[in-house]
Every structure is written in C-alpha cells, then in structure tokens.
C-alpha cells in the first residue's frame, strides 16, 4: 500500500442515480457521470466513489441489474483512464462486477450485513474494503436510533467492532480495511456530533477511519434559519470547517461532493501537518 501525502485522501462522490439527496440525478447516465468524475479528479480527488443506489432516508433500492447498468460502464471507463475507483455498493454481485471492471475499493455502507457474500468477494481480491456502521436499509433506518444507556459512541464502537471481526474472519486482511462511523445512518443530528467528538473511541478499534459528512442533514440543521434547514447546496462552508478539524484528527479518508473546497481546506491543514501512512491505493 502507498504512503499518503500529509493530508487525508479525498474521495470524490459520483452518484449515478436519479434520486440522491445531494444532486438529484445530475450525473445519472454514463456520459455525465464520467465527465463529472473527471472534473473531480481535476479538482484534486485522489479516488472516485461510484454508486448506483441512493441511500438517502426513504430511498427505494434499485434492482440488481439496474445498479449494475449504472455503475459498471462508469467504472470501466474511469479505471481504463487510470483513476483509482471505489464502488459504493452493498451487493456482492455488484462488487464482483465492479472489481472485474477495475475498481480497487469496495465501499459497503452495510459493513457486510446487507449481503454477507460481499465479504467473500473482497477476500478473494486485493481490494480495500470500507465497512460502515449500519443498522437497516434506508426505508426504515431512522426507526433504529435508540443506542440505549451506553450511548451512540459506545454503540457504534461495539457494533463496528463486531463487523470488523466478521470482515477479518472472512479473510480480508486488516491492512485492507477502513471503518466508517456512518453519519446519518440510523442516527440523529445529535448522534452525528457525538460521534465526531468521539472519534478516539472508534480509532481504538485499530483501523483507519473514513468519514462522510458532506452536505448531510445535520449540517443543514446546524445552519437552520427560522426553523428551516440550510439548503443542501449551501452547506459547504460548514463542511470545509469540519474537514479541517477531521484532517487534524488524522482521519484517513474524506468522502465529499465538493472536492475543490475540501482540497482548499486541506491545503491549510497540510501546511501545518505531518505525514501519515495509509491503506488506500
């Protein structure tokens, strides 16, 4: 695995979907998705996360064939052009096809819970695996926000630890694994802030962290005016501030929509920071 520069990796988001919360289908066909991905690379993205299933609250899952049709052509073209590509999927079949098309990372928001066979697919490859904290699919996930008396930080640490054990047991080496606290997935806005304050507890699991806070609703709630959350397209200044704080905490990877703004924030941190070792390609 490679040595990181003195900042986290920047993972640019490419939603090849008609219903994502952040871009509403702007990149929902191959040509537009590839063009957008190339813009993200030009803005400084280190790798690209290609997803064909929206995981916004309430989203309905596409059929497997539809997800394959969305992501595989995009991954193929970008990988052939030399980009480092991640596939954002919960399905073993999609992960296998994406890896065959040239993806080097499998970003599984379910951490193997939605489709346990995805762990076998990754284990049989050399790909990096991102396991996110997850409790349920988008249609019902906000019914699972009770973390009991121990609280959300301990609950996520414990449940991510269980997923890590399953990932390692499947044969995926620890040096290929990142963990993601899953901001917004079965979590309230308050939970998200508690997790961001409690990253040390998650780092105690011994794996590097990926964090995806970009444009999420807890930022909109923070910036609400007259009770109305800040529009999804107007949350970037707050996100840039968060990016700088996360970089100073040693987070391995940031999954973002606005790569240029993120890289600008990281340039400030980089001027003050050190060099770390990473697990992403």
Please give the positions annotated as active site. 216, 255
266/239 Cα distance (integer angstroms):
12
- In angstroms, what CA-CA distances link 232 with 142, 155, 200, 235, 258? 19, 28, 29, 6, 12
HSE-up of residue 192 (Cα within 13 Å, Cβ side): 20
Q: How many whole angstroms from its chain centre is CA 135? A: 16
- In angstroms, what CA-CA distances link 213 with 34, 45, 119, 232? 23, 16, 25, 12
214/204 Cα distance (integer angstroms):
24
């Amino acid at each position: 695995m490679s040595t990181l520069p003195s900042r986290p990796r920047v993972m640019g988001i490419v939603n090849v979907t008609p219903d994502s919360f952040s871009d509403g289908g702007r990149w929902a066909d191959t040509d537009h998705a590839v063009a957008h991905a190339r813009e993200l690379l030009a803005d400084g993205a280190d790798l690209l996360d290609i997803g064909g299933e929206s995981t916004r609250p309430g989203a309905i899952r596409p059929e497997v064939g539809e997800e394959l049709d969305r992501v595989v052509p995009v991954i193929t073209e970008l990988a052939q052009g030399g980009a480092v590509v991640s596939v954002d999927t919960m399905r073993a079949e999609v992960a296998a096809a994406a890896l065959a098309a040239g993806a080097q990372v499998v970003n599984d928001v379910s951490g193997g819970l939605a489709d346990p066979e995805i762990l076998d697919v990754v284990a049989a490859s050399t790909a990096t695996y991102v396991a996110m904290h997850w409790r349920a699919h988008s249609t019902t996930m906000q019914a699972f926000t009770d973390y009991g008396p121990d609280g959300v930080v301990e609950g996520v640490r414990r449940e991510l630890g269980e997923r890590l054990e399953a990932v390692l047991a499947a044969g995926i080496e620890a040096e290929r694994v990142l963990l993601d606290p899953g901001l917004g997935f079965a979590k309230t806005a308050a939970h998200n802030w508690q997790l961001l304050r409690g990253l040390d507890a998650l780092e105690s699991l011994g794996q590097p962290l990926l964090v995806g806070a970009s444009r999420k609703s807890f930022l909109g709630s923070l910036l609400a005016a007259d009770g109305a959350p800040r529009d999804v397209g107007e949350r970037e200044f707050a996100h840039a501030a968060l990016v700088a704080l996360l970089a100073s905490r040693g987070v391995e990877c940031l999954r973002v929509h606005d790569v240029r703004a993120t890289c600008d924030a990281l340039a400030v941190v980089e001027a003050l920071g050190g060099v770390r070792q990473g697990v992403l390609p």
